[in-house]
Amino acid sequence: MLRFLARRLLLGALVLFLVVTLVFALFYIYPSDVARNLAGRQATPETIALIEARLGLDQPIYVQYWRYLVNLLQGDLGYDYYHNIPVTEIIATALPKTISIALGASVIWLALGVCSGVISAVRPRSIADRALTVFALTFYSLPTFVLGLTLLYFLYFKLTLAGITWFPAAGYVNLRDNPAQWARSLVLPWFTLALVQAAL
């Protein structure tokens, strides 16, 4: 048991190391002039050289890779130069939204998936079983983004044109600000994820 656990942990560490290395290779080795892109078209060679030195792009690739690993181990995921904020701040801002969507959708998909599975098991080859099989195949075959756009089109856009404003136009509402609006703003994302996962 301990040997199996140790082997799985080592394999997981190896996979994590390979993924981290691949990400480094994609963003650092791939030929693109990052310093020139950040400096703009009118930049002088001195400005580009200054940006390269500031970002450490003038150092050998193994030095850049080592610094990348050390920063990752310290929890430094880098800096977003487009928005001028650290990447950890972007993740922290998006985390409540992600958790809200994931938890709400998981409750719905577990309820739908378990109920439909139980009905199909209790009444095999019945009309309900066949209907649930069609339901599962339909939503399993749909990509999540297609289902999301379809629900937005029919349940938000078409209903709003008809004067029925069940689904809000605004984006995410914080749970602490207004719990009812929070749930209302997440109904469509919850069902988009839940229908696909329940089918699975």
> Please, are residues 53 and 34 in contact by the beta-carbon 8 Å criterion?
no
**Mind listing the pLDDT tens digit for each residue in 120-136?**
889 888 998 899 889 88
CA gap 23, 71 in Å, rounded:
14
Which is higher by pLDDT, 182 or 30?
182
Task: Kindly list the distances between the CA atom of residue 134 and the CA atoms of 85, 141, 194, 200, in Å, as whole numbers in the listed order.
Answer: 47, 11, 16, 12
Does the pLDDT of residue 5 top 70, yes or no? Answer: yes
Mean pLDDT throughout 70-74?
89
What percent of the chain has a predicted confidence (pLDDT) above 90? 22
CA gap 57, 50 in Å, rounded:
10
CA gap 139, 78 in Å, rounded:
38
Does the pLDDT of residue 142 top 90, yes or no? Answer: no
Which pLDDT value is given to residue 163? 82
Which pLDDT value is given to residue 102? 92
Which pLDDT value is given to residue 169? 65
Mean pLDDT throughout 89-94?
90
- φ, ψ at 35 (rounded to 5°): -60, -40
Which pLDDT value is given to residue 170? 67
Work out the pLDDT band at 14, boundaries 50, 70, 90.
very high
Among 198, 178, 188, 176, residue whose Cα is nearest residue 107: 198
134-158 burial: b if 16+ Cβ within 10 Å, else e: eebeebeebeeeebbeebeeebbee
CA gap 70, 101 in Å, rounded:
32
Which pLDDT value is given to residue 156? 85
pTM over 0.85: no
Work out the pLDDT band at 31, boundaries 50, 70, 90.
low
Does the pLDDT of residue 6 top 70, yes or no? Answer: yes
**Mind listing the pLDDT tens digit for each residue in 143-184?**
888 988 888 888 888 888 888 878 776 678 888 888 888 888
List CB contacts of 116: < 8 A, sequence separation 6 or more.
Answer: 132, 135, 136, 198
